[in-house]
């Protein structure tokens, strides 16, 4: 890593120089240099666009994909071999271009493949290193960063072959997208290992990256929970939110254990170190880890409150929303508009005249209707209160049946269910009507049979399951199937 990020032309900045600046302006030199590694790819894309001449020949060509594919091809050739020949690289790129855009001719595919290879090898500048400026905080100057992506050298088999430099490998591997959880686990363990080996400066850089990953993880959790609170009806608690919260809680607990262990290790190193600069860096490392731990502590509270906030958001969906009063156009808006100068009023009318139009425009067919509409007095709208609406509970109306009706209905249902065979609710009601039961008794039968759908309130020893719907002249609803309950199930 140090070789990739070192300057090929300027002397490296000693670690002891400008130590006080490290606590001041943020040193982003390494990140800036890593960004510059992708600069040749962007220039290649712009160069291909300029060569399009407006005819759309290279319109669907993704040069970034072609560059990364070439890196992967050369890297694979360097595993068991010594690199890739020039003919191998151009043939591979031409085939990828042909797959990307079949309408492109073979000559143009070969030409574009050669252009990509030469551009990333910087052939236009005699294969010299790429040279880009960047601002260095430690020295407070603009420095020059030089690097190469490809090398073309004679190998042991006496052939010239292409190989990737460490800068190209860093550029290629750095594009891999790893989740924040995995990155936090990896970086925390790397920090602990670097501290054990005494490489405090690198441990400080890695801990900074771990802190940024914690911020990234915090943002992802907040976004997920905020969405659940905004649209709770679009998210299933059991399937979507509960597993996510459980995984987040386990990850945060694991991070807390790792951070406590790392803090203990760093504090032990501080007590055993006499060098001033090393102690200062260890103190900054300890502060960075503590800031990361604070984020996880805040996330733990956020995750713990997620269930309660989700329930509150779900309840809010069923509340009557408070009406907000809009300003009266004739009393407040139009008088202010009429006080404006004519030029200003004209500008306002050109931009916002449409807001004065009603939602439904009435059709007027003659001048008399126009005059009637203009002279018709408008009724004063009722003044609405800004107080929140109150939802009054609806009193539950329980049907009242006489003792004779209750005894007759229970007796009839016990005889019907005592037969020991499954029976539908509509069959019971039709048979009761055929047996001459009164309409009030049949109403009681309906009430008791639907009450038996709840196993806790059933008094006849049957299980009820809905099987579609039924429709009779006096009642309609879910068609319940009643089956005798096994004595073994009751136990």
- Rounded Cα distance between 332 and 483, Å, is 70
Q: What is the pTM of this model?
A: 0.49
- Rounded Cα distance between 103 and 426, Å, is 70
- Rounded Cα distance between 89 and 192, Å, is 42
- Rounded Cα distance between 173 and 170, Å, is 5
CB 68 within 8 A of CB 172: yes
- Rounded Cα distance between 411 and 403, Å, is 12
pLDDT of residue 147: 92
Helix (H, G, I), strand (E, B) or coil at 407: helix
pLDDT of residue 22: 40
- What own/partner pairs with CB < 8 Å and gap ≥ 24 does 391-398 have? 391/319, 391/320
- Token look-up 């290992």 returns 193
pLDDT in tens, the chain (491 residues): 333 333 333 344 344 334 333 445 677 788 889 899 999 999 998 888 877 654 567 777 899 999 999 999 998 888 777 889 999 999 999 999 999 988 888 888 998 999 999 999 988 887 788 999 999 888 889 999 999 999 998 888 888 999 999 998 888 887 777 788 888 888 888 999 999 888 888 888 888 888 888 888 888 888 888 888 887 777 777 888 888 888 888 889 888 888 999 999 998 888 888 888 888 888 989 999 999 999 988 888 888 888 888 888 777 766 555 545 556 666 677 788 788 888 888 887 777 776 666 666 666 666 777 777 777 776 666 666 666 667 777 666 555 688 888 889 899 999 988 888 899 999 999 999 988 888 888 888 998 898 888 888 888 889 898 888 888 888 888 899 999 886 434 43
Dihedral sign (CA 111, 117, 122, 128) = negative
């Amino acid at each position: 890593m140090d070789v990739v990020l070192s300057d090929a032309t300027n002397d490296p900045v000693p670690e002891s120089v400008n130590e006080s600046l490290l606590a001041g302006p943020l040193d982003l030199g390494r990140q800036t240099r890593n960004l510059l590694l992708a600069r040749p790819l962007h220039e290649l894309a712009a160069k291909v666009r300029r060569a399009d001449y407006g005819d759309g020949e290279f319109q669907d060509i993704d040069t970034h994909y072609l560059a990364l594919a070439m890196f992967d091809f050369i890297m694979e050739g360097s595993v068991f071999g010594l690199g890739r020949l020039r003919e191998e690289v151009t043939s591979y790129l031409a085939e990828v271009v042909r797959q990307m855009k079949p309408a492109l001719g073979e000559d143009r595919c070969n030409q574009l493949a050669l252009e990509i290879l030469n551009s990333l090898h910087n052939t236009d500048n005699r294969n010299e290193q790429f040279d880009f400026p960047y601002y260095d905080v430690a020295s407070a100057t603009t420095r020059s960063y030089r690097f190469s992506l490809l090398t073309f050298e004679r190998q042991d088999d006496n052939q010239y072959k292409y190989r990737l430099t460490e800068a190209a490998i860093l550029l290629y591997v750095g594009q891999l997208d790893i989740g924040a959880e995995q990155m936090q686990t990896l970086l925390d363990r790397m920090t602990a290992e670097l501290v054990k080996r005494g490489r405090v400066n690198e441990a400080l850089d890695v801990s900074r990256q771990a802190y940024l990953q914690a911020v990234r993880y915090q943002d992802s959790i907040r976004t997920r929970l905020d969405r659940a609170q905004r649209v709770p009806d679009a998210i299933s608690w059991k399937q979507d939110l509960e597993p996510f919260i459980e995984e987040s809680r386990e990850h945060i607990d694991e991070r807390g254990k790792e951070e406590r262990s790392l803090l203990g290790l760093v504090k032990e190193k501080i007590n055993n170190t006499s060098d001033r600069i090393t102690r200062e860096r260890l103190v900054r490392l300890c502060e960075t880890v503590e800031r990361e731990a604070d984020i996880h502590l805040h996330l733990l509270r956020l995750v713990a409150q997620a269930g309660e906030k989700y329930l509150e958001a779900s309840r809010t969906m069923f509340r009557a929303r408070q009406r907000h009063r809009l300003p009266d156009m004739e009393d407040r808006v139009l008088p202010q508009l009429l006080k404006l100068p004519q030029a200003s009023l004209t500008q306002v009318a050109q931009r916002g005249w449409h807001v004065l139009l009603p939602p439904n425009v009435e059709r007027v067919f003659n001048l008399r209707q126009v005059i009637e509409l203009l002279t018709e007095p408008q009724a004063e709208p009722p003044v609405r209160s800004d107080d929140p609406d109150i939802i009054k509970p609806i009193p539950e109306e329980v049907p009242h049946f006489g003792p004779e009706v209750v005894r007759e209905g229970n007796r009839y249902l016990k005889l019907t269910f005592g037969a020991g065979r499954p029976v539908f609710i509509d069959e019971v009601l039709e048979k009761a009507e055929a047996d001459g039961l009164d309409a009030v008794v049949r109403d009681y039968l309906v009430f008791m049979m639907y009450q038996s759908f709840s196993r806790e309130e059933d008094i006849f020893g049957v299980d009820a399951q809905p099987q579609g719907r039924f429709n009779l002249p006096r009642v309609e609803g879910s068609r319940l199937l009643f089956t005798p309950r096994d004595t073994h199930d009751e136990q």
